[in-house]
Amino acid sequence: MAETRIGVIGCAGRVGRMLIADIVATEGCVLAGGTARLGSAALGRDLGELAGIARTGSAVAADLEKLLRDSDVAIEFTTPGATAEHAVIAARLGRPLVIGTTGLHGTEEQAVREAASRVAIVWAANTSLGINLLMGLVEQVAARLGPDWDLEILEMHHRGKVDAPSGTALALGRAAAASRGVAFDDIAQRGRDGITGPRPVGAIGFASLRGGDNIGEHHVMFAGLGEQLELTHRATNRGIYSKGAVRAALWLVGKPPGLYGMKEVLGL
């Protein structure tokens, strides 16, 4: 069986470096290359050296189109604006794409959805197995308990995270809203301050904490009268994201155009 050539877009980031190492170590994969933004100090460095493994003989480049042409599938962890541009280019070149970037809104999100009409894309707020199992549990619990149980989602991440609530927290909220048959944007409460009045029935509340080097934790709390149920996931190693993304890339090759999630990748 031919090996799957996987490219890494945003290879100079923390997850990007892990992706390089995981692709090299995963049977059936070959590292097609990696790109970084213009001006990055990583440009020209050996990909293996960048990832802390043996030298690969390939250097970090800035030519995205060449990387995509050299790849069977690419994995992308960058920034919202860049992700939207990369999705457009991937669609034009007919290359499937795994997107792990969070914080996309408006035209950025629309660009990804339009690209998925031309090429297969896995877009996941979180590629870890545990989080995606948590989403399935949240769907079940939210549907069974109903809106008379108040739902609150608390997330904490490291001080450098730039978007809030986290993409994963929002995905958990959307999963709960869908299972209750309501529009997420109509019931989401993303922050509270001052005299806010009583809690609306059926609302999904969010709280975001930032500090230190916390990789990521999510608490989904269902509060009823006389009892509470809490579902929690804590990430202790960023490797869970890169391993899940590589798994998604292998799954994505050969799939028809469409927008997929980790639920499909993992068969949940």
Question: pLDDT tens digits for 155-174?
Answer: 999 999 988 999 899 999 99
Question: pLDDT tens digits for 98-120?
Answer: 999 988 889 999 999 999 999 99
Same domain, 242 and 117: yes
Same domain, 31 and 83: yes
Residue 268 pLDDT greater than 90, yes or no = no
Give me the domain span that covers residue 210: 129-235
**Active site positions, annotated:** 157, 161
Question: pLDDT tens digits for 200-234?
Answer: 999 999 999 999 999 999 999 999 999 999 999 99
Same domain, 163 and 33: no
Same domain, 113 and 9: yes
Same domain, 10 and 134: no
- Looking at the structure of the chain, the number of domains it has is 2
Task: Report pTM.
Answer: 0.82
Same domain, 36 and 116: yes
Same domain, 22 and 65: yes
Same domain, 157 and 110: no
Distance CA 195, CA 219 (A): 25
Question: pLDDT tens digits for 72-93?
Answer: 999 999 999 999 999 999 999 9
Residue 1 pLDDT greater than 70, yes or no = no
CATH of residue 200? 3.30.360.10
| Whether 44 contacts 60, CB under 8 Å | yes
Which pLDDT belongs to residue 157? Answer: 97
Mean pLDDT of the chain: 95
Same domain, 16 and 95: yes
